[in-house]
Amino acid sequence: MVSEQLTVVNKAGFHMRPANLFVQTMLKFQSNITIVFNGREIDGKSIMNVMAACMKQGAEIEIRCEGPDEVEMLRTAVDLVRSGLGEE
C-alpha cells in the first residue's frame, strides 16, 4: 500500500464535476483507492461516496492506493487533487 497526505485546493472541493473527473480517472486503474477524511474511509471509485463526504477547499485528506498499479494510481490521484480537479 502507498499513501500520501494533501489538501484540497480548488474552490468547490469534491463537487459533482470535480468528483466525477476524479472517479472516472480512478476507474481506469486496477488498484483500490481509499480517501481518509475526518477519520472516515471513502471509496475513491464511488462518486456517491466521494460527494457524500463533502470534502471542500482546505480539507486535509489522505489518499491510499493498494494493488498492482498502486504507485502510478497514487501519483495520478495526487496530481489531480493538487491541480484543482480540473477547476480553478
23 binds another protein (CB under 8 A): yes
Total chain residues near another protein (CB under 8 A): 18
Distances (CA, A) of 12 to 1, 51, 54, 78: 29, 11, 10, 17
For another protein, the closer CB: 55 or 71: 55
| Host H or E run for residue 49 | helix 47-52
Residue where the block lists cell 493498494: 66
**Which residues in this chain contact another protein in the complex, by CB under 8 A?**
11-12, 15-17, 20, 23, 43, 45-49, 51-52, 54, 56-57
Query: Would you please indicate which residues are annotated as catalytic (active-site) residues?
Result: 15
